Amino acid sequence: MSNDNLVEIEDVVFGYGARPVLKGINLTARRGQVIAIMGSSGCGKTTLLRLIGGQVRARQGTVRVAGASVGELDAAGLYRLRRKMGMLFQFGALFTDISVFDNVAFQLREHTDLPEDTIRDLVLMKLHAVGLRGAAQLMPAELSGGMARRVALARAIALDPMLVMYDEPFAGLDPISLGVTGNLIRRLTDTLGLTSLVVTHDVQESLKIVDYVYFVSEGVIVAEGTAAEIRASGLPYVHQFVHGEADGPVPFHYPAPSYADDLRLGGVRA
């Protein structure tokens, strides 16, 4: 494994039961980069994050993080590795019954022996980084969707991880919150020197901040490249996805008999 590569996925095959999901994926995430993983719903993007975090194990192939083969780690080794990772869930997943401050402090209290004064300083530092130091005593129910996502990001970086994984970080956000969240991902990646893996459908916002993009379709990587290369791609699937076209390799119409035949036969039969 190259010292520049924090994550390496090699020839990974995975499925749920008899349903194949990933069919030989190869992906690399270099240190200090923002990497986007894009593709249609159900193509296996979130499954890749679960493989990296060790929630599931590949049937074939290797997943390495910081040189460690995730599938070969025992429980203690996996927990040690996870402490070096942060995770931003799709809708924040904040603890609803504790304050913003305590949400961010949770991991510090759980995984360190730091005194409370030090924890306070670290929590305020992380909240300041996402622009929400003044919201420390609010409850999650008092936050907008964008604010909740930013608190979740502060929590994700509380232990200064080497890797942060984002599962649809832009979902459901207004345009201002979208831009704020995207800029935060880029700025924190650069400032903290971490690696960011972003699973997203939001092509336009992602292409503003990423260093590299992987497109997944039907369990394989069908395209990859820089933001400029993806924008200029002539591959039909990538072009359809980037430009939001209704019809293309991903068809608008569900497979059906000829429309003329259906009309001639009196419409849909039970």
Catalogue all structural domains in the chain, each as residue range(s) with its CATH number.
5-233 (3.40.50.300)
Four-point Cα dihedral 71, 72, 77, 82, nearest 10 = -20
Taking only the tens place, the pLDDT of each residue in 107-128 is 899 888 999 999 999 999 999 9
pLDDT value of residue 254: 65
Q: Band the pLDDT of 144: cuts 50, 70, 90.
A: confident
Q: Is the pLDDT of residue 63 over 90?
A: yes
180 three-class SS: helix
Q: Residue 163 — pLDDT band, cuts 50, 70, 90?
A: very high
Provide the pLDDT for residue 118.
94
Q: What pLDDT does 253 receive?
A: 60
Q: Please report the pLDDT score of residue 88 as a whole number.
A: 85
The two three-digit tokens of residue 110, written as one number: 């759980």
CA distance 246 to 6: 36
Q: What is the pLDDT at residue 251?
A: 59
pLDDT of residue 36: 93
Q: CB atoms < 10 A from the CB of 122, how many?
A: 18
In the predicted model, what is the mean pLDDT of residues 135-148? 90
Provide mean pLDDT across the span 68-88: 90
**In whole numbers, what is the pLDDT of the chain averaged over residues?**
85
Name residue 192's amino acid.
L
Question: Cβ distance 165 to 194 under 8 Å?
Answer: no
- What confidence tier does 91 reach under pLDDT thresholds 50, 70, 90? low
Query: Measured between alpha carbons, how far is 188 from 152 in angstroms, rounded to an integer?
Result: 13
pLDDT tens digits along 220-263 = 888 888 888 888 777 766 767 666 666 656 655 667 777 777 77
Q: How far apart are CA 209 and CA 227, in angstroms?
A: 9
In degrees, rounded to 5, the angle at the alpha carbon of residue 225 between the alpha carbons of residues 223 and 229 is 105
CA distance linking residue 266 with residue 7, whole number of Å:
56
Which secondary-structure segment (H or E) carries 6? strand 5-16
Give the N- to C-terminal CA distance of the chain in Å, as an integer.
57
Pairing between strand 195-199 and 220-225? unpaired
Question: Which residues have CB under 8 Å from 8's CB, separation 6+?
Answer: 1, 27, 28, 29, 62, 63, 64
Q: Which stretch of 36-50, 57-71, 161-175, 239-253 has the lowest confidence by average pLDDT?
A: 239-253
Handedness of CA 21, 225, 69, 169 (dihedral sign): negative
Three-state secondary-structure class, residue 197: strand
pLDDT at residue 2 greater than cutoff 90: no
Most confident of 3-7, 86-90, 246-250: 3-7
How confident is the model at residue 234, as a pLDDT?
A: 73
